[in-house]
Amino acid sequence: MMQVRTTIALVLLLVCARAPAIDKMQLLSGHHVPTLEQVQSSGELRVLMLRTPEQPEGLRQLAIADRQLAGDLAQHLGVRLHVIEVDEYAQLFSQLKAGRADLIAEPYPTNTAHLSGLRASLPLHDAAPVLIGDQDLPWTVTVNAPGWHWALARRQQASERDLKVQTRTQAVARLLPSTQTQDALVSNSRIADALQLDARAMGPAVPYSWMARDNDRMLLAQVDDFLQRHQLKPDHATRPAGDWQAIKAQGVLRMVTVMRAETYFPWQGQLLGFDYEMVQHFARQHQLELEVMVAPDADTAVVWLQAGLADLAAAFLNENLLSGKQGVVASVPYHETAGVLVGTSRSPVVINPMDLNGRKILLPADSRYREQFDRWMANGIRVGVVDLPPNQITDTVVARLERGDADYAVLDAHLAHLKTAWGQDLAALLPIGDAEAHVWAVPEGADTLLGHVNAYWQATRGSYRYDLTWLKYFSPGRSPDRFLENYMAFVQDGAISPFDSLVRRHAARHDIDWRLVVAQMYQESRFDPAAVSRAGAEGLMQLKPATAGDLGVRNSFDPEENIEGGVRYLSWLRDRFESDLPITDRLWFSLAAYNGGLRHIQTARELARAKGLNDRRWFGHVEQAVIELARIGVDGGKGYLDAEQVTDYVRSIRQRFNAYQMLTDQQISTVALARSVERAPDHSAVQKDDVFKPAVTGITE
C-alpha cells in the first residue's frame, strides 16, 4: 500500500509540473490592478477564458455560450470584448494576478475564490461534482479544474482511492466519443449535461462564478449588476423551437410578437392585445403557460422565429410576405384586410383617385400598397409620396398626419378601425389594394404544432370568443376607450402603473428591480390602494396590520407608506436566504415567503432536501416540496399552507415581471425611433437599424 501511495504522489508531482497548480504566493504578487475607469477609458474589457475546443460539440457550444455572456457584459459596460484564451486552468489565475486581464470569465466554484486570493461575482449557475464512468475504476481529475479541490478532499478521506491527474487538453480528448478509457473522470454536472453523458452525482451542487481581483470592487460591482439583470431574464434556447412533444413536456409555449395596440401592450398592469389574447386562449386549451418575447418589429419577430428563439410568431403577419421566407410556415388565415386611405378632419374630401392629384401621402417604402399608387401616377394622377421607414409604427404615422406632414396616409383597414375606435381624429376615405390574409407562423418542421394551430383557428374563427375579442379592440363605439390613455402613456413614458415613480425610488434603495415590485403589486392588489383581503391584508402591497406595525407603516392605505413597507419587507425576506443562491431563485424564495410565510418556505426547503430535490431551486424542486408540505400538514398537522396559492403567486409574478421587462425595453426603442423620425429632415434616411439592435433580452407572460 505504501508503494501505491508513493506512486500516486510521483504522478501528481510530474503532471502538476507540466500543468502547474495554483501557486497562492505567486498569484498574490501581482501589482497592476486595472480599475473600472481604466477599463472604460481604454474601451476594452480583457477577460480570461479557456480555449474553445473544436470537439466535442456539446463542450464547444458551452464555451460559445460562456463567450456570448462575456460579450453581453462588455456591451453592458459600453466597451469591446477582448478574450484572452489559455489552455489550462492555472493560467487563468496566474494571468489575472499578473495584471494581463481584468476578469476571469470562466465559471468556477464560488467557494474556492479565497484559495486564490480572488473575489467571486454573483453566482452564474449551480453545478455538482459528478463521476463519468464506473466509480470502482481509478478516478482521473483535471489539474485545477472545478472538481480538483473536491477530488483532493475525497482523496484525503479515502486514502486507498486511486487518483490520476491530467491536463485540460488531455481531459478534452478524454471526452471525445471515440476515446476508450479504463478510468472514471471527475467532472461537473454542467459539462455532463451538455455532453448528455451518464454521470453519477458525487456531492451537492455548488454555485459557480466569475472571478476578479479582491481589490477591484468597482468592476465587480458592475459585473454583479449585469449578472443580476441578465439572470432575471429567462433563457430562450432551452429546447427545440416548435417541437410539440418538448412544448408539452416543458408546459410552456413561447410566442414572439411586437408591442402594438392591436397585438400586445400593457393596460394598468394587465397584458392585452388581440393576438396576445388569442394565443393565450390557445395555450390554455392545451394546458400550457405562455411566455412572450417582444421583437422591435414584425420582420425581426420572423427572424427570431427562424433562429429558433420561439415556437410561434403572432403579430398580424402578412401571408404573402411570409411565403418567401425560409424556415417558417404560415398557419391558416385568421383575418383578411385591405388597405385604406385615411385622413384627419382637416384632410380634403376624397371621392375617387382623381381627388389625390397634387396631394401628399405618407407611405412606407416597402409598402405592398405602393403598386396601386404607381398605377395611378402612370395614369396621370400626380401624387407626392412621402417615404416612411420600413415597419413604421402606426402611432407615429398618425401623429405625423395630425402634425400636417402630409394630407393622407395608408394603413391596413383593421389598424384604421382600431385608431378610430380609440377616438383618434382619423377617418377611412378610400379603399386601397386587394385584401390579404393575416396568419400566425411556426418554425419549418413543426408539423404537430402547426396542426394544432390550424385546428384552433378552424374551430375558433367566427366563434363568439373571436367576435367578442375583435369587438373589444376594433369596433367603433364598442372598443374600451379607457385603454387609449394608458396605452399612449406607456408608449411615451413606459408607465406600467400609476405608482411607478414611487416604486422606482424605493426599489432602488433595496437593489430590487422595480418591475418585479410592480408585478407583485398587481398580483396583490390590482393597483388598488384601498384593497383589503379576506385575511385583513391592506393596501397596494397587502400588508397585514401586524407586519405593517413591525415595519413602522402607520397608514397602510397611503400608497407611499405601503410601497416602502412592502419593498422593505421583501428585501428583509430576501436577506433571510443565502447570498450565494442563484439570483432568480433567491427572489422566488422571497416571493414565496411573502405569500406563504418564511418559516413554511424554510421547512419546504428542508423537505426538498429529504426527498432528494434541489433545495436551492424553486421551480420544480422546492415548489414541489411546498405542495407535499401542504398535503402532509405543517407544524405537526396544526398549521395551514395553501400550496396552490403560493405556487401560483410566484409563477404569476414571474410571468408578469418578464412581460414588464420586455415591454419597457421595447418602449425605450420605440420612443427612440419615434424621436429620431421627428428630428430627421429626410425621413427616408432614418433606418430602423439605427435605433433597434435586435437582441434576445427576455421572455414574458
Catalytic positions: 524
Which residues touch 701 (CB under 8 Å, ≥6 apart)? Answer: 271, 290, 291, 292, 655, 656, 658, 659
Q: How far apart are CA 322 and CA 295, in angstroms?
A: 17
Backbone angles phi, psi at 692, to 5 degrees: -85, 125
Neighbour count for residue 359 (Cβ, 10 Å) = 18
Q: Residue 595: which residues within 8 A CB-CB, separation 6 or more?
A: 645, 646, 649, 650
The grid coordinates of residue 58 equal 456539446
- Give the integer Cα–Cα distance in Å for 6 and 14: 12
Type of residue at 145: A
CB 670 within 8 A of CB 259: yes
Residues in Cβ contact with 636 at an 8 Å cutoff, skipping those fewer than 6 apart: none
The gap between the terminal CA atoms of the chain, to the nearest Å, is: 62
Quickly list DSSP for 351-413: SSGGGGTT-EEEEETT-TTHHHHHHHHHTT---EEEEE-TT--HHHHHHHHHHTS-SEEEEEH
- Cα–Cα dist 173/179, whole Å: 7
Per DSSP, the chain holds a count of helices (H) and strands (E) of 27, 22
Q: Which of 667, 675, 270, 687 is nearest to 490 (CA)?
A: 667
Query: Rounded distance, CA 563 to CA 558, Å?
Result: 9
CA distance 243 to 442: 10
Nearest to 254 by CA among 265, 266, 241: 241
Cis peptide before 529 (omega within 30 of 0): no
166: β partners: 142
H or E element that contains 442: strand 427-443
Phi-psi region of 166 (alpha: psi -120 to 50; beta: other; left: phi over 0): beta
Phi–psi pair at 528, nearest 5 degrees:
-100, 110
Paired residues of 104 in beta bridges? 48, 211
Question: Residue 459 is placed in which grid cell?
Answer: 374551430
Note every long-range contact of 582-585, with CB atoms under 8 Å and residues 24 or more positions apart, other chains counting: 582/123, 582/125, 582/126, 582/207, 582/231, 582/616, 582/617, 583/122, 583/123, 583/227, 583/228, 583/231, 583/232, 584/231, 584/232, 585/616, 585/617, 585/618
**Contact call for residues 274 and 238 (beta carbons, < 8 A):** no
- ∠ CA 436-439-440, nearest 5°, is 160
Please say whether the beta carbons of 292 and 257 come within 8 A. yes
